[in-house]
Amino acid sequence: MKKFKRNERIGALMKMFSERPNHIFSYNYFSDIFNSAKSTISEDIVIVKKIVEDFNYGEIKTIAGAAGGVVFTPKIKNDEVVKIQEELCDVFSDEKRIIPGGFIYMTDVFNNPYYVHNIAKIIVSMYENKKIDYVVTVETKGIPAALMTAREMDVPLVVIRRNTKVTEGSTLSINYVSGSSSKIQTMTLSRRALKEGSKVLIVDDFMKGGGTVRGMRDMMREFDVEVEGVAVVVSTKEPKKKLFNDFNSLLLLEKVDEENKKILIKPNRLEGFKE
């Protein structure tokens, strides 16, 4: 089996860590790949750790014990968070996005890997000290941001459906009140989707009245799992009193002025984010 030079191993390690953040890699795994002793791999990890810290990419930790290994946790600086928020505001404030009825078109942004990856980096940083087993969202526009968040956290994504699908097997359905229309709606989730006692992070693309997020929270209670946090990409200023208020929102939509063709949206203060 080929023996790799140190610079080759360092390059490969950086790629592996960046492609699967927050995943615990065992030393045996690296030893088998590189055909090298654990002591050699340990020296490589020290070098990679210094590179990551020097460039402020994040942090590499070693975990002791039988289930231990090495894990890379990405970090994002406060000035980068602000830059991402401002960039999103610039994109969303384009007057061409105004849709009759006081809505704005967002689908293209939520389907853009560049934007959703940046959104996910912020969300993950806000909840980096929480033990999360699943990321939960509801179909459809919130799926890309939630999926990217799950990838960064190295946990599964669970998608709550609006309608029952036969391929989901046995399901649990609940009714909830839409905060924006006050209509009774239904959401459904497979009974196999979550393990009892798990901890979840809810991620959604948009919140107005808070009814959908409240419905997701109620659904989690039915599965006997704990909601560790709720992250929303865009929330509206009105109504101030929502059906659910315990959430973090990256952006605050203050007003859609159809007459003057203006969208007033700004970065929101992010609780729980460390500078």
Give the Cβ contact number of residue 8 at 10 Å.
Answer: 12
Q: For the whole model, what pTM was predicted?
A: 0.91
Q: Give the number of domains in the chain.
A: 2
Stretch among 28-37, 205-214, 253-262, 263-272 having the lowest mean pLDDT = 263-272
Place of tokens 């990321």: 135
- Residue where one domain finishes, among candidates 55, 74, 93: 74
Domain that holds residue 161: 78-267
Place of tokens 């689908």: 107
**191 found inside a domain:** yes
* Same domain, residue pair 56 and 98: no
The overall average pLDDT reported for the chain is 93
- Written as six digits, the tokens of 26 are 């065992």
pLDDT digits (tens, 9 = 90+) for 85-125: 999 999 999 999 999 988 899 999 999 999 999 999 999 99
271 pLDDT tier (thresholds 50, 70, 90): low
Phi, psi of 226 (to 5 degrees): -105, 130
**Are the C-beta atoms of residues 195 and 133 closer than 8 Å to each other?**
yes
* Same domain, residue pair 145 and 118: yes
**273 found inside a domain:** no
**162 found inside a domain:** yes
- Written as six digits, the tokens of 75 are 């970090």
Residue 275 has a pLDDT of 41
* Same domain, residue pair 151 and 52: no
Q: What CATH number is attached to the domain comprising 58?
A: 1.10.10.10
Give the separation between CA 250 and CA 83, rounded to whole angstroms. Answer: 12
Q: Where do the H-state alpha helices sit in the chain?
A: 6-19, 27-34, 38-54, 78-92, 107-110, 113-126, 143-153, 211-222
pLDDT digits (tens, 9 = 90+) for 155-206: 999 999 988 888 889 999 999 988 666 789 999 999 999 999 999 999 999 9
Q: What CATH number is attached to the domain comprising 150?
A: 3.40.50.2020
The contacts of residue 235 (CB under 8 Å, 6+ apart) are 206, 207, 208, 247, 249, 251, 252, 253, 268
